[in-house]
Amino acid sequence: MRRLIAIGAIAGLAVWVVAQVSGNDMLGSYAKSLNAAKSLSTTMTVQRIGGSSSTLTVDLAKPNKARIDTPTQLIVADGTNIITYDKGDKSYFKKPETDSDLKDLFKSDELNLFGSFFDADFYKGKVVSSKSGGQKVRKGVSYDVVVASMDTKGKKTASFYLDPKDKLAKVGEFVLNDAGATETVLVMTKDYSVDGNQAATVFAFNAPDGAREITAEELNAGKWYENLGEAEAMAKKLNRPLFVDFYADW
């Protein structure tokens, strides 16, 4: 009887270890698989639960090219510059491309699924812990799910739906619970192509008719500053009024 109990305990421990390893390693395996790809092209839907829905297209190519087309912006990284075109304002801003700026393009929930393409360590430091969420079916497709905690306070979680065939995340669900409010962003890819042929023109930016190039000063003119000195300097440089918004707790 003692031997059976001991064997049972060891078996239980083995199951627990396997579960721990699978939960911790699934996200790393996905990041490694995506980072090994030479190119990626996809169309995706971004749905804010209770809010708006939008369609984006993403094209990526090694070593340093990207094209991200959203309803409001077109971002093109051609290996030399990163150009951001504002569709509403019909203006674009160009800056020299750096490795860090390229990786920073994927910080948002909308583009988080693709961060590992250029950075195999994309999730290190961003994910506090991760575990297996088992298998789930979405629209008739079965996925292996990884649930990740994205902050130490447990306010934000991300669920990555991995395709069992290629280990790549095809769906992402990002949930933020803060101050009693919940915000959910659902990212669903389609027409997902890895290592396919891409036309050279994909990563070429051609300014639309009537578009104008703006300077860094003009780009930053509308942003909020937390440093009054910096705000005053920018207002003086552009000859624009300074608006101060503040509050106080009494």
Q: How do residues 7-38 score in pLDDT, each as one tens digit? A: 444 444 444 444 444 556 899 999 999 999 99
Q: Please enumerate in sequence order all residues whose Cβ is within 8 A of that of 24, keeping only pairs 6 or more positions apart, or say none.
A: 130, 131
Place of tokens 């440093």: 227
Q: What is the pLDDT of residues 151-195, one digit of tens each?
A: 999 899 999 999 999 999 999 999 999 988 999 999 999 999 999
Structure tokens at 215: 């300077």
Integer Rg of the chain from CA: 22
Fold of 2-210: outer membrane lipoprotein receptor (LolB), chain A (2.50.20)
- Model confidence at 229, pLDDT cuts 50, 70, 90, reads low
Distances from the Cα of 33 to the Cαs of 36, 38, 117, in angstroms? Answer: 5, 11, 9
Q: Tell me, what's the pLDDT at 244? A: 74
Q: What are the boundaries of each domain within the chain?
A: 2-210, 213-241
**Token pair 């999730």 is at which residue?**
123
How many angstroms separate the most distant Cα atoms in the chain?
87
Q: Does the pTM exceed 0.95?
A: no
Residue with tokens 């912006």: 73
How many separate helices (H) and strands (E) can be counted in the chain? 4, 12
